[in-house]
Structure 1
Amino acid sequence: MEYTFRKATIADLGQIWSILEDAIARRKADGSEQWQDGYPNPSVIANDIALGHGFVMLEDDTIIGYTALLISNEPAYAAIEGKWLTDDEFVVFHRVAIDGKNLGRGLAKHMLAFIEQYALKHGIYSIKADTNFDNQAMLRIFEREGYQYCGEVYFRGSARQAFEKVIVH
């Protein structure tokens, strides 16, 4: 199956928010504290889109995933308790969510492959991300996809596990 990726538009907001609402409910059902404090919300996604950071993954014409991508723009990462693998430019991804009707199809792997291609297209060989200590699904994905644990970063007063993958070029 071929998937396409494109920048999100404000017209996509309803579909994106539906996917994120489902992901928020899944985190809660899994016993995770991640995304249980009113974040993310439609305003955060609208801001991603307005700044050109929001991306959607499509199957045919249907949005089946969302992420926000930023280049070397995550102030919380400067204060890591630990050490990043590199100090070079990096792509950071946030708010990865896959449509709940499409779970179990390996779509997160396709999303991360797109993120790697995005980084390479921009001449960047480092990808950084973080997740809650209790988001077992994302922790498994990081391990499976070759991300290395680097330490902890803090968002809204909470510690998050920080990971980096250096892309071989």
Structure 2
Amino acid sequence: MNYHFRKATLVEIPQIWTIIQQAIARRKNDGSQQWQDGYPNETVIQQDIEKGIGYVLLDDNTVAGYAAILFNDEPAYEQLKGSWLTNGDFVVVHRVAISDDYLGKGLAQKIFLFTEDLAIDNNFFSIKVDTNFDNIPMLKILEKLGYTYCGEVTFRGGVRKAFEKELFK
């Protein structure tokens, strides 16, 4: 498979939204409370793309996954109950979702690895991420990729586990 990662375009919203809806259903089926309150929605995805922070993982020309990648932009992270590994510039990963057609192929991990490359290419050496306490698949991915648990953040009214990974050139 020939995967590549790039900024999403507005014409890809229908494909992305289908993937997000599949991920919402998976979270519900897993018994997770994450994404069960109308977020994310199509408006959020459109805003991501318009801000230039929406990214797609492509298998040739097919959208296989989606994520929002932000640089130095997550106000909730300023209120961490715990301690970040670093205090400098950082990249944030939000809204990671993989198409049902591509499950079990390690694509969420690929998104994180592509994000590490993107961060280093832009001279950012920290990636921060948060997830729900009951999102077991994401917690396993973060552990496997070497993320360190740093504490808890309150995000959209809910307490979330926060992680960081330091990157090196």
Give the corresponding residue for 1:29.
29
Give the corresponding residue for 1:120.
120
SS in 2 for 1:18: helix
Kindly state the Cα deviation for residue 2 of structure 1 after the two structures are TM-superposed: 2.4
Give the corresponding residue for 1:160.
160
Residues 1-169 of structure 1 mapped to structure 2, 5 A cutoff: 1-169=1-169
Query: 1:21-72 deviations in whole A, cap 9, x for unaligned?
Result: 0000000000000000000000000000000000000001100000001101
Cα distance between partner residues in 1 of 2:148 and 2:30? 23
TM-score (norm 1): 0.99
Cα distance between partner residues in 1 of 2:70 and 2:157? 21
Cα distance between partner residues in 2 of 1:59 and 1:155? 32
* Equivalent residue letter for 2:21: E
SS in 1 for 2:64: strand
Kindly state the Cα deviation for residue 168 of structure 1 after the two structures are TM-superposed: 2.0
SS in 1 for 2:128: strand
Query: 1:89-109 deviations in whole A, cap 9, x for unaligned?
Result: 000010000111111111112
SS in 2 for 1:65: strand
The structure 1 segments of at least 4 consecutive aligned residues displaced by more than 2 Å after TM superposition are: none
Structure 1 gap segments, 5+ residues each: none
Kindly state the Cα deviation for residue 156 of structure 1 after the two structures are TM-superposed: 1.6
SS in 2 for 1:139: helix
TM-score (norm 2): 0.99
Cα distance between partner residues in 1 of 2:102 and 2:4? 15
Cα distance between partner residues in 2 of 1:109 and 1:68? 14
Cα distance between partner residues in 1 of 2:48 and 2:62? 20
SS in 2 for 1:32: coil
Structure 2 gap segments, 5+ residues each: none
* Equivalent residue letter for 2:37: D
**RMSD after superposition:** 0.6
